[in-house]
């Protein structure tokens, strides 16, 4: 029983740290300065502390079920928003060097309902597994989140400065698209995985639900369509290489006649 408590506590703390790194990723790749990053992390920590207090005061099973249901719906909404605004962030930067990352990064970093649901459940699990007061658990969780956001955001900015300034809105847009696709995949795969685990005689038997393959096939369709469209666009633009120009010995491009 003691080992189970340690596993639950460690896993929950690791999940909180990953959530902080996700928010720090958005801050680090956006156009925020150090003071704004620290202020954002402090605000996030305060919100997380309030959510933890609510979890400590009100945590009956029916409330937890309601929070889980609302969190799944918001999870899907945020996934679609991440993909859409990630595309817009990349498009505005690559086409006209317009930086909108100071606004769109909020889809990654802001304390959204899905993230607050995870914080709510983390506080409940930590309180039950450790026996510590809910107020102390809320403070610890908020401190981990705020500290993790600051460290990851400043770490990304430092790595960009040392690596030649690769931080730009296009990087943020790409990260938002990948994260959004991951969010869209989770509600499909995780319930199917849980359904596939059948406990019989104290042993876990892995079954294969029939809907899993169909769902994965549906997810592969837009990926394949996007790949085909990209190849067609590259072919129509002359291979996507030199845009109708050739390179002479001194390195300067000369348009072809």
169-192 confidence digits (pLDDT tens) = 888 888 888 888 888 777 666 555
Structure tokens at 121: 């459940």
Cα distance between residue 29 and residue 93, in whole Å = 13
Higher pLDDT, 225 or 88: 88
The answer for 234, left when phi > 0, alpha when psi is -120 to 50, beta otherwise, is: alpha
Query: What's the pTM?
Result: 0.67
What the block records as the tokens of 219 is: 């997810």
> In the chain, what are the domain boundaries?
2-187
Is residue 152 within 8 A of residue 20, CB to CB? The reply is yes
Q: Which two tokens mark 129?
A: 């597994």
Q: Summarize the confidence of residues 54-66 as an average pLDDT.
A: 66
């Amino acid at each position: 029983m003691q080992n189970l408590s340690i596993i639950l506590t460690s896993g929950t703390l690791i999940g909180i740290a990953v959530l902080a790194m996700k928010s720090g990723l958005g801050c680090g790749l956006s156009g925020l300065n150090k003071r704004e990053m620290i202020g954002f992390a402090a605000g996030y920590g305060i919100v997380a502390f309030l959510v933890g207090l609510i979890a400590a005061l009100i945590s009956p099973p029916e409330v937890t079920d309601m929070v889980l249901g609302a969190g799944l719906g918001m999870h899907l909404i945020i996934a679609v928003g991440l993909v859409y605004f990630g595309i817009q962030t990349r498009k505005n930067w690559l086409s006209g060097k317009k930086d909108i990352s100071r606004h769109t990064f909020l889809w990654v970093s802001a304390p959204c309902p899905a993230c607050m649901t995870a914080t709510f459940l983390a506080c409940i699990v930590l309180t039950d597994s450790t026996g510590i007061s809910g107020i102390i658990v809320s403070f610890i969780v908020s401190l981990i989140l705020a500290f993790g956001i600051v460290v990851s955001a400043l770490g990304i900015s430092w790595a960009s400065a040392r690596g030649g300034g690769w931080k730009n809105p296009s990087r943020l847009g790409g990260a938002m698209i990948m994260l959004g696709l991951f969010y869209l995949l989770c509600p499909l795969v995780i319930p199917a995985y849980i359904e596939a685990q059948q406990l019989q005689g104290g042993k876990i038997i892995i079954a294969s639900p029939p809907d899993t393959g169909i769902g994965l096939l549906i997810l592969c369709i837009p990926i394949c369509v996007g790949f085909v469209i990209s190849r067609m666009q590259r072919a129509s633009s002359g291979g996507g290489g030199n845009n109708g120009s050739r390179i002479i010995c001194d390195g300067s491009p000369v348009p072809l006649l």
